[in-house]
Every structure is written in C-alpha cells, then in structure tokens.
Amino acid sequence: MGKKDANSYRNILRGTSLFGGVQVFQVLINLVRGKLVAMLLGPAGMGISALFASSATTIQRFASLGLNLAIVKETASKNEDPEALATTISIARQLITATAIVGALICILFSSFLSKLTFGNDGMTLQFILLGAVVGLSVAYNGKLSILQGIQEVKRISVASLVGGITGLVIGVPLYYFFGDDGIVPAMVVLALAMYIFYSFSLSRSIKLPNVKFIWQSHKPIVKTLVVLGLLLMANDLIMSLVQYLTNIFIKNYGSTDAVGLYQAANSVTNQYAGMVFTAMAMDYFPRLSKVAEDNNEMRNVVNRQTEIVALIITPASALLILTAPIVIRLLLTSEFLTITPLMRWMGLGILIRALSIPMGYISFAKGNRKLFFWFEGIICNGMTLAYSCIFYYFFGLIGLGYALVADNLSCLVLYYIVNRHMYDYRFSKESAFNLGLAIAIGTLVFYASLIESVALSYSIMTVLTVISIIYAFIVLRKKLSRTSDISGSTQED
C-alpha cells in the first residue's frame, strides 16, 4: 500500500472507527468490571483494587522507560526498508524483554516496602510479589502492541484488544466471587496474561522477520535513539503528573478536598468520553504520520486529512456530551455529582478544541525534533495548563477550571499552528481550515445554548444543533469515502 492509499480518507476513518470502537468497548469492559468489583467486594475491596492497580501502573510506567511511542515512531519510519525494520523490531523486542524483567524484579524485590508504603504494613507482601507478574506482562504486551502499531496492523490490534479484555473479564471476575479480596491480584494477572498471549499471537502472525543478532557497536545508535526518545516521553508524562498534582494541591489549599474530588470526577468522565478519538489518533494516526514525516508535503496532507476527519467526528461527540452531561453524570457517577454539570459542559467544549490541536501536536515528535517536543510539550504547554488552572480557579472557583481548559487548549491550538508553520512549513488546507472553524463554531453555539435559562428552549436548540452536526458529518464523510472509492476504481482501471 502506498503512502497516498494508506492516508486516504477511507483508511483514516477505518483506523479511527476501529480503534475508537475498541476504546468504547474497553471502557464498557472496565465499567462492568468496576461494577462487579463494587458488588462482590464492596467499597473496601474497590479501594484495595485501586491501590494495587495504581501501584502496578506507576512501576510499569517507570520500568518501560517510555519506550512504547518511541518504538511506534521508529518502526513506522522503517516500514519501507525490510532490513532496517527487522533490525529495529529485533532490538525493540530485546529492550521490551529487558524492561519487563526489570519491572517485575523491582516489584518482587521491593514487595515488603511497597506493602508498607501502600497499606501501612507488610501484610500484602505476597500480593506485591504476585503483582510483579502483572507489571512484567503489562510492559511486555504494551511493547508488542507498539510494534503492531508501527507496522499498522489495525485489525489485529483491535481483535487482540477485544478478545484479551473479554477473556480477562470472564476468567478474572469469578476469582473475586470465590476468593474475595485475595482474588484481586490473581484477576489482574489473568487479565495481563490474556493480553500478553493475544498480542504475542497477533505479532507472530503479522510479521515474519529474521532475528537479528545484537551487536552493541553496530546497534548502539538505534538503542540510543529509542531510549532517548522514550526517556523524553517519560519526562513529559512525569511533568504532566506533577502539573496535575500541583493543581490538586492548589484546589485543596484555596478550596476544599470536596472540590478536588468534583474536579477529578468531571475530568475522569470527560477523558473517558473523549478517549475514543484521542486513543485512535495515538494508535492509528501517529504511525502514519511517522511514516511520511521526512516529506513536508506528504506530512501536510496527512495532518490536514486527519484534522478534517477529527473535526467531523469530534463535533457531534462534543455536542452530545454538552447536551447529555446530566445523564452521563447519573450513569457514570451519582446524582450527588450533578453540581459538576456546568463544569463538564465547559470541558466538553475544551476537548473539542484539544482534539483539533492534537494532529499538529504530533508533528515535532514524528519529525524527531526532541528539543522542540520537550520544551514545547513538556515545559510550555504544561506550564500554561498549570498557570491557567490556578489563576482561573483562584478567581472563579470550580467552574474556572472549565474556563482554564478552554483557554489552555485554544492557546495550544494557536501555538501549534505558529510553531509548525515556522518550523515545517505546515499550513491548513481550505477544507481542514473550514471544518476546524465549523467545529469550533458549532461546539460554541451548543455550549452557549446550554446557558439559556429556559430549560425547554435550551435543550431544543442543543438537540437541533447536535442533530445538524451529526447529519453534516455523515454527509461529508460519505462524500469523501465515495470520492476515495472512485479514485481507487479509476486507478485500478488505468
């Protein structure tokens, strides 16, 4: 498949819909698992489960050295060179194995310390030893997932994710029933093992490349590239976590613990809702962009087409979130959290703008410009997020965090465009600019309709605008897909 075919509207939409659908299904699986944990283990069991999950995730994040996205980039960029691809994948596999073993050993060797740190005593030492298997398997299967992303095996990733998630749920949940709290970590092991098995199977079926013998002097540049990129991403993640932590501390000091809880609830629901679009871009769009990153014209086409598709998909999604915020809160939280409805509506507008900026946000990393990526993403954007959040919360309270999200994402959208225009001669096409502007306009109108005092009038306008955005997206996407089919057909005839 050539570059143009790989980045046709049909393939972009196919990747987005597949990964988006998988993300929706995984959210549903997580909701079902959470509900069953709540029913079978109660609040205390949910708390224990959350502590084990956060412990495993933290260790996994450090042990993986941030290699996952770095592997995606390097693998995708070598797709046209079988020898270079074989070398990159072979070295990536060895790095994945090493980091998985290190992660598991850290959890095992420090099991007693982790038990005391997490639960205040060493009573959970055995569970943390077992948690080492979860960490090791998770690092390993995420590494395999990264290779599959890089070689753009969209269907295999989707199938492996779904089958692995369902298997983990079906086999893991009975462990809660029979063993209570003692079944929490074994259920996590079952899930991690299921994901590892299915991703390993998918990778073995996807690509047949010879194993390359590791020679330090020859392969040092590749190892250095992967590790440096990985550490850069990990540093960015740590800065993001620090910003979130400092924001929560600021809210607590100038507000209350309840305000922190309400903000986190709104944030969690909004991120889950928008996850299908953001995950699809990370899983499908980034490998395609990395593949053509060296060619500015091709890069521009890929980014613009992605922007068009994202604008068409995120607009009705954002409008629906603003319209149905109270229902979403009741479904995913409880009626006690209805006070965050205005905040969630601001966040609905904010994620629309954020989604529109993400295609440009990946450019510097796909180009391999490490310094620009770190200073822009890690320092400037995170610094703006912290500043906006603290300033707006100080003056406006909880709703100010919604103002902050919109202001932050608008600022990033403008800065992304200025920087990429200057550095890589990127510019919007007429179609992408039109769809981006239309998306912001419709999102803003739906949001302002939510502020109308008359409930009947407010919901009527929001509903009409949401339906219009859905119909418009359907018509435009259908035209683009039919146009792609016509071009493909004429090419084959020629």
CA distances, 336 to each of 212, 329, 459, 462 (Å):
58, 9, 22, 24
Same structural domain for residues 235 and 210?
Answer: no
113 falls within a domain: yes
Q: Are residues 80 and 181 in the same domain?
A: yes
Residues 42 and 102 in one domain: yes
pLDDT band, residue 214 (cuts 50/70/90): low
Among 194-203, 266-275, 286-295, 483-492, the minimum mean pLDDT is found in 483-492
**pLDDT digits over 399-409, tens only?**
999 999 999 99
Give residue 44's pLDDT.
Answer: 74
Residue-wise pLDDT tens digits, 422-476 = 999 899 999 999 999 999 999 999 999 999 999 999 999 999 999 999 999 889 8
Mean residue pLDDT across the chain: 83
Cα–Cα distance between 279 and 355 in angstroms, integer? Answer: 11
| pLDDT digit string, tens, across residues 11-37 | 666 666 666 666 677 777 777 776 677
Interatomic CA distance for residues 377 and 229, integer angstroms: 14
Same domain, 234 and 210: no
In a domain, 225, yes or no: no
Residues 143 and 65 in one domain: yes
Query: Is residue 492, in this structure, part of any structural domain at all?
Result: no
Indicate whether 44 and 125 sit together in one domain: yes
pLDDT of 269 strictly over 50: yes
Asked whether residue 219 is domain-assigned, the answer is no
CA gap 369, 376 in Å, rounded: 11
At 433 the pLDDT is 93
Q: What does 101-161 look like in DSSP terms, one character per residue?
A: HHHHHHHHHTHHHHHHHHHSSSTTHHHHHHHHHHHHHHHHHHHHHHHHHHTT-HHHHHHHH
Question: Is the pLDDT at 355 greater than 70, yes or no?
Answer: yes
Q: What percent of the chain has pLDDT over 70?
A: 88
Per-residue exposure over 378-408, b if at least 16 CB sit within 10 Å of its own CB, e if not: beebbebbbebbbebbeeeebebbbbbbbbb
pTM of the model: 0.77
Q: Which of 283, 440, 284, 238 is nearest to 355 (CA)?
A: 440
Higher pLDDT, 300 or 479: 300
| Range(s) of the domain holding residue 1 | 1-214
The residue from 157, 187, 214 where one domain ends is: 214
Identify the band that residue 366 occupies on the pLDDT scale cut at 50, 70 and 90: confident
Answer whether residue 369 is part of any domain: yes
- Split into its structural domains, the chain has a count of 2
Q: How far apart are CA 199 and CA 149, in angstroms?
A: 11
Q: What are 372-406's pLDDT values in tens digits?
A: 888 888 899 999 999 999 999 999 999 999 999 99
pLDDT digits (tens, 9 = 90+) for 451-461: 999 999 999 99
Residue 347: pLDDT band with limits 50, 70, 90: very high
